[in-house]
Chain A
């Protein structure tokens, strides 16, 4: 007797901790309140602990009044940390913001220094009851 057919659906949920500097990189968030808070995940891809600064910009890259609750993240090597960005909504139905995490400068000889930065784009959708 043959066993009944077996269908397995193994759903891999988005793995936010494996390969990204910032996750998600773009997403819509809806809020019914006059404030919003979004949770993002930053990853340190380096083999040593690193400090990353978090900056929030408006769609036109002006510094936003919204801010990260922890503007500086210290992340262990190859680890992830989730952080919150919060702000007030306004009369706009949809508003985009950029959230950037920037590494501390890596300094070379002769004064050269380089920083890595990853910026995600998020839409805040104002819902009304």
Chain B
């Protein structure tokens, strides 16, 4: 009698077990985002001559900063702004005795205020809006008329 009861109980358990296991199911979605950094240049900026004629700067009246957007999808990146070292285009004598400088500020994922170009800054995660000012200062005399070009490079690179 006991053996018959155990057999029936075992059969009932076998029938019940699959139903209990099927009450819910998981559907898994796995995703993987590769760490990345994107630099997109916005406006190129405008240099204006000051009233004395010896400074070309984006901060003079009429000038405008350059802008760039940096998007990071992970931490571990930094921004570097290479200051100009020379005009890449200038009239004769235009680059004589000139000192170059640049600075940058950031809003968004990274907050920075007037960092000198050449100093590295760690980037926050997400979108950073960068504004860059550049200037060329002549020690003596005025800038001769002609076409000038002064490059600034915004670099995102890996910390490690």
Binding site for B on A (CB under 8 A): 2-16, 19-26, 43, 45-46, 98, 100, 102-103, 105-121
Knowing A25-B35, A115-B153 are in contact, say whether A110-B148 is a contact too (CB < 8 A). Answer: yes
CA distance A46 to B46 in the complex (A): 20
CA distance A62 to B23 in the complex (A): 63
Give the A-B contact count at a CB cut-off of 8 A.
Answer: 168
Partner of B152, one of A12, A46, A114: A114
CA distance A12 to B34 in the complex (A): 11
Decide: A117 and B32 in contact? CB cutoff 8 A. Answer: no
Most A CB atoms within 10 A — which of B39, B63, B68, B149? B39
Residues of chain A contacted by B152 (CB below 8 angstroms) = 112-115
Residues of chain B contacted by A22 (CB below 8 angstroms) = 36-37
Decide: A110 and B160 in contact? CB cutoff 8 A. Answer: no
- Considering the complex, give the chain B residue whose CB is closest to the CB of A15: B34
Decide: B25 and A7 in contact? CB cutoff 8 A. Answer: yes
Decide: A111 and B41 in contact? CB cutoff 8 A. Answer: no
Decide: A115 and B41 in contact? CB cutoff 8 A. Answer: yes
